[in-house]
A and B are shown apart, each in its own frame.
Chain A
Amino acid sequence: MSTLMKQTRVMIRANLSSLPRRLAISLSMALSVALVVCVLAGFLAMAKGFETVLTGAGSPRVAVVLGGGTHQEAGSDIPASAIRTLDAMTGDIGVSRDTAGNLLSSRELVVPVDVKQAEDGTTRTLALRGMDAVGPMIRDGITLSQGRFFAPGAREIVVGDHLAAEFGLHVGDTVRLGAVDWTVAGHFSANGSAFESEVWGHLDAVRAAFDRQGQVQSLCLRLTSPASLGSLQAKLSTITSTPLVAVSEADLYAAQSGRTASLIRLFGWPLALLMAVGATAGALNTMMSSVSDRTVEIATIRALGFSRLSAFLGTWVEAIILASAGVALGLATAWLAFNGWQASTIGANSARMAFQLTVTPDVMLTAGLLGLAIGILGGALPAIAATRLPLTAALRTRG
């Protein structure tokens, strides 16, 4: 081991062993770092959970056709004539067909509906998606967890597992959506994605119940392969009656999640950084106090011949160790408090969308690095101060 390493090890040991003498201020530094890390991890976990739930909803094998010049389902409208033209197309248009040669497609309409929560009687707005009977089969990752799917034309709904649990909607229950009652025919799972925050029913029944006769917002199509989206778009451009655009379901939901996740991060980062500035000032104060407390020890060791660098490293490493303790505490708290925590927001269809905060390794890494940066920056100046202590202090001061 080099002499510098040996010197530094002694300095670090001397510093850490004397921590009990300044326990309160050292704890306050670690706690302030923990707070910053916990807050940032919370915001990042929220953004990550939101991204996960929306990106999980999208499959590259599914195309969503939107009309009316919009790239969002809410403002989209596809005329029946355009759908008939598409259905009439023969040959390979990039869309899978059933055994009868019909396109695997589902006409869809999303209606916001108010539902009372069983728990406290409060009303929440949910998304009721009307779709053709083939709709659930077109999508990836949809499995029936209880009951059966809705019957064509019937006032029946299937409810995502997440909503069923939250709203106490059991199979066979009757629930009022709009002006009419609907029967819960089954529950479905969508791997925890945004679809689990939706209620699905047959398109005709939804249109009839909400007086949306003939309306189709989007057309969901099963692609032959992710690469065939281009072929579909080329075919759509030949339909001149209305502008139609085909986007992959994955891209559609990724774009939605990107906007909201960015917004969450936009709030989270400035708050965490402001807190980090405060914590850095606290770390600076703590470490200056540490250097002051150890003046005699540092000066004594330097008087024996130890280098300035070892004095610098000893103080710096102490700051980083304290920050690391804060990081560990902050991450543990964030994990316990936020990981798996259920949250909800207003989704793209003005309806409630539930998601789960996820403290992932990259969330922990990002928040942890910010915490370490506090120690690195807050410890640097006091470490320099430790190298500039007057050695004469060692000769005439009671240790």
Chain B
Amino acid sequence: MTDTQEPYIALSGIRKGYRIGGEAIPIFSNLDLAIPRGDFVAIMGPSGSGKSTLLNMLAGIDRPDAGTLRIGSSRLDQMGEAARSSWRAHHMGIVFQFYNLLPMLTAAENVELPLLLKPLSARERRTRVDKVLDLVGLAGREKQYPAMMSGGQQQRVGIARAIVSDPGLLLCDEPTGDLDRKSADEVLEMLRFLNRELGKTIVMVTHDPQAALYAKRTLHLDKGDFIEEKRAA
């Protein structure tokens, strides 16, 4: 990225707080963040530092109280609920800590969910689902239900679901928080592959320093501001 390039994700002057029992709890008072297209950023920080709030705003689930939030050419801070819902369907994939697969749907049906929001035929959807399940190493398990899979396999289904509609941005919320080390490493390798080979921009919230090492850079969120971690060359 050069200085003249527009960042893919740009937060400027973000103010966000919550009101609990009549008391105002400020989270961010003037947050700025710029992430270029194709970056893989790990966000770390203590509990209550605002990681989840940030992720919710990037996902269009929550809106800042003030400031500018732009992803690509979309101003999320100016969008209504329905527009943000539609934006999520077309531009972003989410990987959840607890996979959040629908237990009554097969792996293929879970992966297919985001494609139902697009004008695709059943054949086109099936082709895409098969392709991403193959990509995450689950070819042949299309008809398995989540309960029949290990945690690592379920998370790979979750990743397949997140990338099946080919979004530019992947948001990962503690994607390895519920996995053993081996499975966690497999999932993180998968994310690194998606970033390096397919050019996905990834923002990953994690508590795990080892997980953060898979990202290109790590931002520590503390007291409402970012501190970038210095890494050895």
Taking Cβ atoms with an 8 Å cutoff, the residues of A that contact B are: 3, 6-7, 10, 13-14, 17-18, 296-297, 300-308, 391-392, 394-399
Q: Which of B35-43, B91-99, B214-222 contacts A (4 or more CB under 8 A)?
A: B91-99
Q: Most chain-B CB neighbours within 10 Å: which of A18, A304, A306? A: A304
Nearest A residue (CB) for B61: A391
Q: Most chain-B CB neighbours within 10 Å: which of A308, A395, A396? A: A395
Give every chain A residue within 8 A of B178 (Cβ-Cβ).
398
The proximity string for B residues 68-94 relative to A, scoring 1 for CB distances below 8 Å and 0 otherwise, is 000000000000011001111110001
Cross-chain pair count, CB within 8 angstroms: 84
Q: Which of B19-27, B111-119, B182-190 contacts A (4 or more CB under 8 A)?
A: B111-119
Given A394-B100, A395-B96: A304 and B114 interface contact (C-beta under 8 Å)? yes
Other 6 A-B pairs with CB < 8 A, given A392-B61, A395-B96: A3-B119, A10-B116, A17-B104, A300-B96, A303-B88, A397-B98
- Cross-chain contact A399 with B117 (CB below 8 angstroms): no
Nearest B residue (CB) for A17: B104
Q: How far is the CA of A13 from the CA of B112 in the complex (A)?
A: 14
Q: Most chain-B CB neighbours within 10 Å: which of A17, A305, A398? A: A305
Q: Which of B5-13, B52-60, B136-144, B193-201 contacts A (4 or more CB under 8 A)?
A: B52-60
The answer to whether the Cβ of B102 comes within 8 Å of any Cβ in the partner chain is yes
The answer to whether the Cβ of B46 comes within 8 Å of any Cβ in the partner chain is no
Taking Cβ atoms with an 8 Å cutoff, the residues of B that contact A are: 52, 55-56, 59, 61-62, 81-82, 85-90, 94, 96-105, 113-114, 116-119, 161, 173, 178
Give every chain A residue within 8 A of B173 (Cβ-Cβ).
395-396
CB contact between A297 and one of B99, B102, B161 (< 8 Å): that residue: B102
- Cross-chain contact B52 with A3 (CB below 8 angstroms): no
Q: How far is the CA of A397 from the CA of B99 in the complex (A)?
A: 10
- Cross-chain contact A304 with B56 (CB below 8 angstroms): no
Give every chain A residue within 8 A of B59 (Cβ-Cβ).
303, 395
Q: How far is the CB of A15 from chain B (nearest CB, A)?
A: 9
Q: How far is the CB of B199 from chain A (nearest CB, A)?
A: 22
- Cross-chain contact B102 with A300 (CB below 8 angstroms): yes
- Cross-chain contact B117 with A7 (CB below 8 angstroms): yes
- Cross-chain contact A305 with B104 (CB below 8 angstroms): no
Q: How far is the CA of A227 from the CA of B94 in the complex (A)?
A: 80
- Cross-chain contact A304 with B104 (CB below 8 angstroms): no
Give every chain A residue within 8 A of B114 (Cβ-Cβ).
304-305
Nearest A residue (CB) for B94: A303
Nearest A residue (CB) for B89: A305
Q: Most chain-A CB neighbours within 10 Å: which of B94, B96, B119, B173? A: B96
Nearest A residue (CB) for B88: A305
CB contact between A396 and one of B62, B97, B105, B161 (< 8 Å): that residue: B97
Give every chain B residue within 8 A of A13 (Cβ-Cβ).
104-105
- Cross-chain contact B118 with A396 (CB below 8 angstroms): no
Q: How far is the CB of B81 from chain A (nearest CB, A)?
A: 8
CB contact between B96 and one of A3, A301, A305, A394 (< 8 Å): that residue: A394
Q: How far is the CA of A17 from the CA of B116 in the complex (A)?
A: 19
- Cross-chain contact A7 with B116 (CB below 8 angstroms): yes
- Cross-chain contact A392 with B62 (CB below 8 angstroms): yes
- Cross-chain contact A6 with B55 (CB below 8 angstroms): no
- Cross-chain contact A395 with B85 (CB below 8 angstroms): no
- What would be 29 A-B contacts, judged by CB atoms less than 8 Å apart? A3-B117, A3-B118, A7-B116, A13-B104, A14-B104, A301-B102, A302-B85, A303-B61, A303-B88, A304-B88, A304-B89, A304-B94, A304-B113, A304-B161, A305-B86, A306-B113, A308-B82, A308-B85, A391-B56, A391-B61, A392-B52, A392-B62, A395-B52, A395-B96, A395-B97, A396-B52, A399-B99, A399-B100, A399-B101
- Cross-chain contact B103 with A399 (CB below 8 angstroms): yes
Q: How far is the CA of A301 from the CA of B113 in the complex (A)?
A: 8
Q: How far is the CB of A63 from chain B (nearest CB, A)?
A: 69
Given A300-B102, A395-B56: A3 and B116 interface contact (C-beta under 8 Å)? yes
- Cross-chain contact B55 with A395 (CB below 8 angstroms): yes
CB contact between A306 and one of B61, B103, B104, B117 (< 8 Å): that residue: B117
Q: How far is the CA of A60 from the CA of B44 in the complex (A)?
A: 91
- Cross-chain contact B90 with A305 (CB below 8 angstroms): yes
Q: How far is the CA of A308 from the CA of B80 in the complex (A)?
A: 13
Give every chain A residue within 8 A of B98 (Cβ-Cβ).
397-399
Give every chain B residue within 8 A of A300 (Cβ-Cβ).
96, 100, 102
Nearest B residue (CB) for A300: B100
Nearest A residue (CB) for B109: A10
Give every chain A residue within 8 A of B89 (Cβ-Cβ).
304-306
Give every chain A residue within 8 A of B56 (Cβ-Cβ).
391-392, 395
Give every chain A residue within 8 A of B85 (Cβ-Cβ).
302, 305-308
Nearest A residue (CB) for B115: A6
Nearest A residue (CB) for B205: A395
